[in-house]
Amino acid sequence: MSLFKCSEFILLMIDLFDFEITVENVVLIGSLSEGVDLSAANTRLEGSKCSWQRFPGLSYKLKSPFASFLLFRNGKFVCTGVKTKTKGETAITNFLNLLKTEGIVSNQCTTEYEVKNLVASINIAGASISLQQFTNEFDTIYEPEKFPAAIYKTEQAKATFLVFITGKLVCSGIADEETLKQTVKKFYQDLVEKKVIEKSLS
């Protein structure tokens, strides 16, 4: 097996197939050291959105780097839309600075945060997947009339895979790249062992 890896892209070559793991979204959760007046924040943050009757938080899209935030009165927040932890950290820093500049929090306000989830797409080059065989071999949910992918949840890593007939996968539920890489590798090997994965005819 050979391995190439950068911050957003992992290439694994095993057996007859190559597969690429691309991190599409990094979800970070955190909290400010202060609570937030969301009404004031909604007034001062241009483009912010809120609907108190439907959702108890405020949504805001940061432009540089692009990221989406959900902010709550107790100071807790969720950051999504970035593709690396580094960009997420930069987005959180910029968001905090914006809150300070607009007088929404004090200059002494700090943050704590962590990566909660990585959402990754996996492309198995030159392969297709027999979803009929997959559902026979794995404990999965597959309702093609509602959704074109089978849904499979691993027990050990607590990851969720979406499995498409085209050989494409989506993995979520993992918080670090090394665990993501090992989980995808293990799942791929299970697919090969169960003879679910095969060469594409196209």
**pLDDT score of 82:** 97
Residues 6 or more apart whose CB falls under 8 angstroms from that of 145 comprise: none
Reported as a single tens digit per residue, the pLDDT across 148-180 is 999 999 987 789 999 999 889 999 999 999 999
Query: Which 3 state secondary structure label does DSSP give 97?
Result: helix
Domain boundary among 82, 109, 136: 109
Higher pLDDT, 89 or 191: 89
Dist. CA 105–CA 159, nearest whole Å: 36
Range of the domain at 90: 34-109
Dist. CA 114–CA 160, nearest whole Å: 20
Containing 119, the helix (H) or strand (E) segment is strand 111-124
What is the CATH number for 142? 3.30.310.10
Q: Is the pLDDT of residue 10 over 60?
A: no
pTM: 0.85
**pLDDT score of 175:** 94
Does 103 lie in the same domain as 48?
yes
Average pLDDT (12-22) is 65
**pLDDT score of 64:** 92
Domain boundary among 81, 109, 137: 109
Reported as a single tens digit per residue, the pLDDT across 126-146 is 788 989 889 999 999 999 999
Does 63 lie in the same domain as 18?
no
Does 124 lie in the same domain as 65?
no
**pLDDT score of 152:** 96
Domain boundary among 109, 143, 158: 109
Reported as a single tens digit per residue, the pLDDT across 58-108 is 999 999 999 999 999 999 999 999 999 999 999 999 999 999 999 999 999
**pLDDT score of 132:** 87
